[in-house]
Amino acid sequence: MSNAQRPPSDALPATPSPIRLRLRLHFGDVLKLGPGKADLLEGIRDTGSIAAAGRGMSMSYKRAWSLVEEMNAAFRAPLVHSSRGGAQGGGASLTEMGERVLAHYRRLEEIILQAGQDDIAAIEALLAP
């Protein structure tokens, strides 16, 4: 279909965007664990690199490393294990504790989204067209 034949974009039916839930846990002054840190942990798990995980989130390596240090210090055991570069190359991976924390966080997101479905739908129904 040529541009002349296409209806104006406001005439096209809007595709609903998925509802997102952003969970942020505050553990006093010790730690805030939210979607950014969870995504960073997932990125490290998936890429094997703090730098690559940070880049994937448009975050500087310094910021990503700072968040990793913060999380590692806040828990009983580190969440991320990293090794320096060199001839063998560096890398990072989630520790067993990191995998557990990430799994619990993602599970909480699922539980809250499922438990709140009726209220979310009620709020959505009150949105302007």
Q: Which residues 6+ apart lie within 8 Å of 51 measured at CB?
A: 61, 64
Kindly state whether residue 127 falls inside one of the protein's structural domains: no
Position 66 in a domain:
yes
Q: How wide is the angle at C-alpha 28 spanned by C-alphas 41 and 80, nearest 5°?
A: 20
pTM over 0.85? The answer is: no
Asked if pLDDT for residue 21 goes beyond 90, the answer is no
Domain with 103 in it: what CATH number? 1.10.10.10
Asked if residue 54 is part of any domain, the answer here is yes
| Number of domains the chain contains | 1
Average pLDDT taken over every residue of the chain: 88
Q: Domain limits at 76?
A: 31-118
In a domain, 15, yes or no: no
The yes-or-no verdict on residue 128 having pLDDT over 60 is yes
> What's the pLDDT tens digit per position in 33-85?
999 999 999 999 999 999 999 999 999 999 999 999 999 999 999 999 998 76
Assigned domain for 20 exists: no
CA distance 67 to 39: 11
Residue 77 lies in a domain: yes
